[in-house]
Each structure stands twice: as C-alpha cells, then as structure tokens.
Amino acid sequence: MWYQVSGVFVTFEGGEGSGKTTQLKLLANHLRVLGNEVVETRDPGGTTIGKEIRTLLLSPESAPMSVAAELLLYEASRAQLVREVLAPALARGAIVLCDRFIDSTLAYQGFGRGLDLNLIRQLNQLATEGLTPDLTVLLDLDPAIGLLRSGRSSSAESSSQDRIEAEPLHFHQRVREGYLALARAEPDRIRVIDAGLSMAVIETAVLDEFTRLTRSRSTVHG
C-alpha cells in the first residue's frame, strides 16, 4: 500500500553538516518512484534572483555584512522563491521539498544574531504571503560535530567555508538552541530527528513523518 499525495510543502532544517540536503534528495527520489511530481528547491536560491542573493550572503568576501542587510537579503530571496516557484508548484498539486525556509531565519538571524523574533516573523509573513510548511523536518546535531562534517577543522577555519559556516562555535550553538525552541513551540509541524543516527535510519524516520502527515489526505493505492 502506498499513498499518492499532492500540494504538500515540506521543509528541511538543521545546522551545518546535519545532512538535510541529502535527506531531502532521498525523500524526493522515493516520492518520484511512487509517481508524484516533486519540486526540489532551496532558500536562499531556487530562482535566478535567489542564486545571486545566495552568493552575496554566503561568500566570505561579503564579510563584514550588517545583520540588517543579511536579514533583508534572506527575505528578498524568499519572496521571489514563493512567487516564482513555491506558490505555482503547490497550486498545480506538486510536492515541494525546500532546503531551509522561514525557520532558518528565526534560528540564525533571531537566536544566532540576536535580532527581534517578532520582527523576523513579520518579515517572514510579508515574504511568504502567509505560506507555511505543512511539515518541517529538523535534523538535530551537535554543532561541533556538524562543523567537522562540513569541513571545518578543530583548530582553524577552512578556506572553503562559507560566511555562515565560518561563524564561531557559540553562534552555531545558539542556532541549535533556537531550532529546538521553535520545535517545542510547534511540535506538530516541526519534527525533530537525531542527525547523529545512520543515514538509512534517518531516511526511514523522514519517510515516516511524511507518511504521518499525508495519510489522512491521500489517495490510497495497492
């Protein structure tokens, strides 16, 4: 038995090196095999404008960048992504899987940078036109482990790091704490999975969460 679903919006969140991009692709492949239209995208990015903004945001050459400029660039990329990619795909019934979305901004710019959470929520509302994920998969991992996974040495910064990865460990610890606080506030939407588990175990857990979400609204086959 399997479920064919449509018009579902799932986001993947987590700190650096948490494996969210890998798990997004695994879920996308699984859903396509079952006959679903799946749109994979990322935030920032996903559009021509978004790709340019992503380069500005992540390039080490953009440092130092004011926290206000950083926040507004993220929101600008998101607004374009919603209008150009997300809303049309959901309207035609596709399953949309997005690598980061509104919760990243709350975690990184809110808890990480210390910007006002209510202000960020207002800007998120403006940029998304009210679009909220049906499910958010939060892959939780100790930031020290995640940074090592993403290529950061324990003694020095790697020249291949992007501007956000290069932030000190205590910044990434605040981001993790922020993510977990968001999950406690919205446990039905934000589902926490231990990113320290094996890839196969995480893949199964992600699929279970997706099935939990979609079972009641799906067409049953088999």
Tens-place pLDDT, residues 98-112: 999 999 999 999 999
Question: CATH homologous superfamily of domain 2-221?
Answer: P-loop containing nucleotide triphosphate hydrolases (3.40.50.300)
* Least confident piece of the model among 4-13, 118-127, 137-146, 183-192: 4-13
pLDDT class of 150 with cuts at 50, 70, 90: confident
Query: Quick check: 72 pLDDT over 60?
Result: yes
CA–CA dist 81, 47 (Å, integer) = 6
Distance CA 219, CA 27 (A): 19
3-state class (DSSP) for residue 92: coil
For residue 218, pLDDT beyond 80: no
Domain boundaries, the chain: 2-221
Q: Which residues pair with 139 in a beta bridge?
A: 14, 193
pTM, rounded to two decimals: 0.92
Mean pLDDT of the chain: 92
> Hey, which residues does 10 pair with through a beta bridge?
97, 135
**CB of 179 within 8 A of CB of 126?**
no
Q: What pLDDT score was predicted for residue 157?
A: 47
Q: What is the pLDDT of residues 84-133, one digit of tens each?
A: 999 999 999 999 999 999 999 999 999 999 999 999 999 999 999 999 99
Q: Are strands 135-140 and 95-99 parallel, antiparallel or unpaired?
A: unpaired
Show Cβ contacts of residue 69 under 8 Å, excluding neighbours closer than 6 positions: none
Query: What value does the CA radius of gyration of the chain take, rounded to a whole number of Å?
Result: 17
What is the mean predicted confidence (pLDDT) over 141-145?
96
Query: CB of 38 within 8 A of CB of 31?
Result: yes
